[in-house]
Structure 1
Amino acid sequence: MMRFAFALISVLALLAVVSCKPGATPGLPPVGTAAVAAERAACEARGGNLRALGASLMFCQRQTGDAGKACARADDCEGVCLARSRSCAPLTPLAGCNDILTSAGTVVSECLQ
């Protein structure tokens, strides 16, 4: 009886260790490099490129279809309307600080850092 109990405990322990492999537990999100790979794949599927901003922030940046088009407010562009040139930005989102036009046409500074 004692051998059976020991064998059963050993099998259960082995199953617990095997189920801890990455991707083996359904419903849990990926972490670490698996999470970055999943985010990169999702970003690329949307037509973007995964970019690093600083040491720990990643964001999906893609080209806009109306880059360089004249604009007077945010609603005129797929991304943002650049205040200085009054033209639609070539990428969305824009990294760093940029003066953009709001939906009302007023100038604000938007920062992604």
Structure 2
Amino acid sequence: MRRVLCGLLVCVSLAACQGEETETSPGYGLEGFDPTAVETQKTACEARGGTFQPGGLGGFMTCFETPKDAGQRCTKSTDCSTGACLARSQSCAPISPLFGCNEMLDAEGRRVSLCVD
């Protein structure tokens, strides 16, 4: 009888430790995880005129957009809205983000190599 009471006491104690799910809890164990996040990001990207596709070496879904000043002449990074002034053509980058290794002009107009993944 004593063992039965001890077993029952252990079960009741363990049951009391279980947390309750709240209305805001998604119920799949990852608080704050949004399973529709990719679709939401894609919709927002396309609404801004962007293209949602894999980018960089990791292949993560990225919103590629054409900056308003794409192709305009620049002599330093601050001349471009994205800060990406291509050294060879001395023009603002045609797309943002700009992946890979590129020769750029920095804020003082110096030629630098920038690699972005």
**TM-score (normalizing by structure 1):** 0.65
Give the whole-Å Cα distance in 1 for the aligned partners of 2:79 and 2:59: 33
How far apart are 1:105 and its partner, in Å?
A: 0.9
Partner of residue 51 from structure 2, selected from 34, 49, 73: 49
Amino acid at match of 2:64: Q
Counterpart residue number, 2:77: 74
| Structure 1 residues not aligned, in runs of 5+ | 1-14, 22-26
Distance 2:93 2:58 in 1: 25
RMSD of aligned Cα (Å): 2.7
2:47 aligned partner, one-letter code: A
Query: What SS class does the counterpart of residue 52 from structure 1 fall into?
Result: strand
Q: How high is the TM-score relative to the length of structure 2?
A: 0.63
SS of equivalent to 1:63: coil
What is aligned with 2:100?
96
Q: Name the structure 2 match of 1:39.
A: 41
Aligned length: 91
- Residues 56, 69 of structure 1: CA spacing in aligned structure 2 closer, same or farther, 3 A cutoff? closer
d(CA) in 2 for partners of 1:106 and 1:68?
19
Deviations 1:6-54 (A, max 9, x none): xxxxxxxxx99xx637xxxxx82313xx222122122223332222124
Unaligned ranges ≥5, structure 2: 1-20
Larger helix percent: 1
| 1:73 Cα deviation from its structure 2 partner | 0.2
Residue 92 of structure 1: how far off its partner (Å): 1.1
Greater share of residues in strand = 1
Distance 2:98 2:43 in 1: 20
